[in-house]
Structure 1
Amino acid sequence: MNAPHPSHAPFAHLAGKRVLVTGATGFLGRHLLPQLVAAGADVTCLTRASSRTDHLPQGVTVARADLATGDGVAQALGGQDILIHMAALLFGLNWQDYLRANTVAAQHLAAAIMSIRARRRALPRVVLVSSLAASGPADGMPGRNDEAIGAPVSAYGWSKYLVEQILGRAAGDKLVVLRPPIIYGSGDKGLLPVFRGIQKGVAALPGWKRPFPVSVVHARDAAQAILLLCRKDAHGVYHVNDGAQHTMRAFYEAAAQALDARPLFIPVPVPVLGMTALAATLWTRLLRRLRRASGDRAPNWNLDKYREARHAGWLCDASRLCQELGYAPTMSLAAGMTEAVNGYRAEGLL
């Protein structure tokens, strides 16, 4: 299943298109931008003034704007054919964190889109990278499908679902949504603690005597799906995965194999998961209150992530993406883990 990188013919629809990307300096952006450039798109990355941009691919333009305040957003979006919105807060301590970051950014983008509509200009196609968290959990095959009503169980999931509604009201049928499951690959700081734990010989499994089935996708294939959603015939909500069902243990075992590690797998009962998440959340809140924290970032494991982990599984169905748009995953779990580990090592993170 470790096929060569997909040819650029399926992405001919992007040749010459002006594409504005938010969240481009993050993990997924490093896998998406090279594919956009190779497809012939004229790419602009919307970044804050404080963001590093020296690692962006050659030929990419930078537009300085602030999604938190809206400054510069309308100017950056003007004249673009496609908006790919990936910027999002992944780890928050409470509902306010997610609402402040994710939905406020969506409101500013929606205002910019409505301004274009008011001037009777052509609206850009809006490709939103949402999350399976907006669909809700599922522990049986084939998992959550594209027609299922959103049923989030976490603040993060609800914030992503609200973003879909906000942009949908502004962009109408110009909006198309991708709801990916766990995305992994080189450059991902969210799963880095898991890889480090496995390297040290410990892997904690969510729940006692339960398989916890999950869908996953490598960032390279998630990027492929985003490019396909830029097509004019893409519509509605799509899910994406690597074409297989996994358990969380199998996911960790693949990471261990790539690391050449032999970790001890420790099943953690759901109540214990809740207590550890509560402790991590309360400790960070205390640090915030005492102003000892170096920033507002929440720990990777917190109460909101526990709200997702306490469910029996997270599966999704990518069949419509495959049938309608020709999506075909290129990275097996083993190959994807090797790419991720090699990337972490190249950056000195493992």
Structure 2
Amino acid sequence: MRIAVTGAGGYVARNLVPTLVSQGHTVTAVDGSPTLPWTAEAAVRAVRADVRDAPAMRAALDGTDLVFHLAARITLRQTDPLAWSVNTDGVRTVARAALAVGVGRLVHCSSVHAYDLASGVIDETSPRAVRAGLPVYDRSKARGELELARVVDAGLDAVTVNPTGIYGPVDHVGRLAPTNAVLRRAALGTAFLDVAGGFDFVDVRDVVAGLLLAARLGRTGEGYLLAGERLVMHEMLGAVAGLLGRRPPLLTVPFACARAIGVVAGPLSRRDGVDALSPAALGTLRAAPHVCSGKARRELGYAPRPSRETLRDTAAFLVTSGALRRTRARTGR
């Protein structure tokens, strides 16, 4: 099968593209960055293009049977014009291009953040992230899904998956995804404190499995939450530290104190690729919704692995990849 992957330089794609190649597919890897890790692969054609560029998207997707739209800009800011544009205009442009050139199906990788996390319990019927004051990432992901729905109404066969917090191997060693960057600090034994609360985290390999299942079995126009397991931050960081014989965090900070600490420590943590004390990050941990992936389990056969396996494999990856020898890690998807 001929498959296109947008956001091909990102974290999820780093796991998806090799899987597609191993299954015998030919892949068009679309990304705005000048270099991609698979340029030596005979089965991968690298295309440098902006997902908001309509002619470039039509050219890149022409002749493909299936598109995985992974391109997104992740940010913890309240406002970010580029993130809004990529996460909304980018979805619309890619979807319209797919419809125009006759792509058989598009699978859009959105996020649990497209839902209002303050809902408490989240399933596919829960309120969307449209409230004023929510982080721009949340609002833009919700709007991106609306843009896709309009193109589906025009005739595109598309489905959406909504992963929770993604972590696990394999990642970009030089710019670890946000949760992996936090786990790296625990693995180094330099996570002196953590914040009260937790979240639902899902292994990136299970996200890839969910994307492939949605491509085969998902119903047109439907969305599927891909949850993993709800983890308490203190236990999560302590588990990784313990696996490598490092000291676990010494103190769990209440949310009220964390906000005050974040004013001073936030800029320092961002310098090392960790933004766990930003208002958006703290808000996510405080909301700590229960995310239901029953629909994906019933309709797709989605079956995520236990968190202990992901934490073990992440600790091993951080060691074998050399990530623990680096002095800094930058966040990225």
TM-score class, shorter: 0.7 to 0.9
Q: Write out per-residue CA displacement over residues 322-350 of structure 1, whole angstroms, 9 at most, x where no aligned residue.
A: 11111122x32222122222222233211
Could you tell me which amino acid in structure 2 is paired with residue 156 of structure 1?
Answer: Y
1:108 has 2:93 as partner: yes
User: What RMSD over aligned residues (CA atoms) do the two structures have, in Å?
Assistant: 3.0
Q: Which residue of 1 aligns with 2:83?
A: 98
Which deviates more from structure 2 when the two are superposed, residues 74-83 or residues 216-225?
74-83
| 8 A contact 1:176–1:229 mirrored in 2 | yes
In the alignment, the residues of structure 1 paired with residue 42 and residue 193 of structure 2 have an alpha-carbon distance, to the nearest angstrom, of 41
1:127 has 2:118 as partner: no
In the alignment, the residues of structure 2 paired with residue 83 and residue 260 of structure 1 have an alpha-carbon distance, to the nearest angstrom, of 43
Q: Give, in angstroms, the shift of residue 54 of structure 1.
A: 4.3
Q: Which residue of 1 aligns with 2:27?
A: 43
Could you tell me which amino acid in structure 2 is paired with residue 345 of structure 1?
Answer: V
In the alignment, the residues of structure 2 paired with residue 57 and residue 332 of structure 1 have an alpha-carbon distance, to the nearest angstrom, of 32
| 8 A contact 1:254–1:333 mirrored in 2 | no
**TM-score, normalization: structure 2?**
0.81
Q: Which residue of 2 aligns with 1:148?
A: 126
Of 223, 230, 233, which residue of structure 2 is paired with 1:248?
Answer: 233
Q: Give, in angstroms, the shift of residue 50 of structure 1.
A: 1.6
Q: Which residue of 2 aligns with 1:238?
A: 224
Of 21, 40, 51, which residue of structure 2 is paired with 1:67?
Answer: 51
Could you tell me which amino acid in structure 2 is paired with residue 306 of structure 1?
Answer: L
Q: Write out per-residue CA displacement over residues 231-288 of structure 1, whole angstroms, 9 at most, x where no aligned residue.
A: 154341111123x443222322332233322313422222333344455778999xxx
Q: Which residue of 2 aligns with 1:171?
A: 152
Q: Which residue of 2 aligns with 1:159?
A: 140
Q: Which residue of 1 aligns with 2:329?
A: none
Q: 1:249 to 1:57 in 2, by over 3 A?
A: farther
| 8 A contact 2:164–2:200 mirrored in 1 | yes
In the alignment, the residues of structure 2 paired with residue 81 and residue 261 of structure 1 have an alpha-carbon distance, to the nearest angstrom, of 48
Q: Which residue of 1 aligns with 2:64?
A: 80
1:334 has 2:308 as partner: yes
1:258 has 2:264 as partner: no
Q: Give, in angstroms, the shift of residue 225 of structure 1.
A: 0.3
Aligned-partner SS, 2:27: strand
In the alignment, the residues of structure 2 paired with residue 139 and residue 257 of structure 1 have an alpha-carbon distance, to the nearest angstrom, of 34
| 8 A contact 1:154–1:305 mirrored in 2 | no
Aligned-partner SS, 1:308: helix
Aligned-partner SS, 1:31: helix
In the alignment, the residues of structure 2 paired with residue 163 and residue 44 of structure 1 have an alpha-carbon distance, to the nearest angstrom, of 22
| 8 A contact 2:61–2:103 mirrored in 1 | no
Q: 1:148 to 1:34 in 2, by over 3 A?
A: same
| 8 A contact 1:206–1:270 mirrored in 2 | yes
Aligned-partner SS, 1:202: coil
In the alignment, the residues of structure 1 paired with residue 275 and residue 40 of structure 2 have an alpha-carbon distance, to the nearest angstrom, of 27
| 8 A contact 1:203–1:252 mirrored in 2 | no
Q: Which residue of 2 aligns with 1:8?
A: none
| 8 A contact 1:181–1:314 mirrored in 2 | no
| 8 A contact 2:8–2:71 mirrored in 1 | yes
| 8 A contact 2:259–2:277 mirrored in 1 | no
Aligned-partner SS, 1:91: coil
Aligned-partner SS, 1:21: strand
Q: Write out per-residue CA displacement over residues 138-188 of structure 1, whole angstroms, 9 at most, x where no aligned residue.
A: 686xx3112223236422111111111112212336221111111111214
Identical counterparts, % of pairs: 25
Map 1:214-225; keep pairs closer than 5 Å: 214-225=199-210
Q: Which residue of 1 aligns with 2:289?
A: 314
Q: Write out per-residue CA displacement over residues 195-222 of structure 1, whole angstroms, 9 at most, x where no aligned residue.
A: 2332224354333xxxx34221111111
Q: 1:233 to 1:268 in 2, by over 3 A?
A: closer
In structure 2, runs of 5+ residues without a counterpart are 325-333
How many residues are matched? 310
Which deviates more from structure 2 when the two are superposed, residues 87-96 or residues 157-166?
87-96
In the alignment, the residues of structure 2 paired with residue 56 and residue 327 of structure 1 have an alpha-carbon distance, to the nearest angstrom, of 32
**TM-score, normalization: structure 1?**
0.77
In the alignment, the residues of structure 2 paired with residue 338 and residue 298 of structure 1 have an alpha-carbon distance, to the nearest angstrom, of 21
Aligned-partner SS, 2:224: strand
| 8 A contact 1:137–1:315 mirrored in 2 | no
Could you tell me which amino acid in structure 2 is paired with residue 193 of structure 1?
Answer: A
Q: Write out per-residue CA displacement over residues 82-141 of structure 1, whole angstroms, 9 at most, x where no aligned residue.
A: 111111111253422421332232233244245x1xxxx63431211111111132686x
In structure 1, runs of 5+ residues without a counterpart are 1-16, 286-292
In the alignment, the residues of structure 2 paired with residue 131 and residue 240 of structure 1 have an alpha-carbon distance, to the nearest angstrom, of 9
Of 300, 303, 307, which residue of structure 1 is paired with 2:279?
Answer: 303
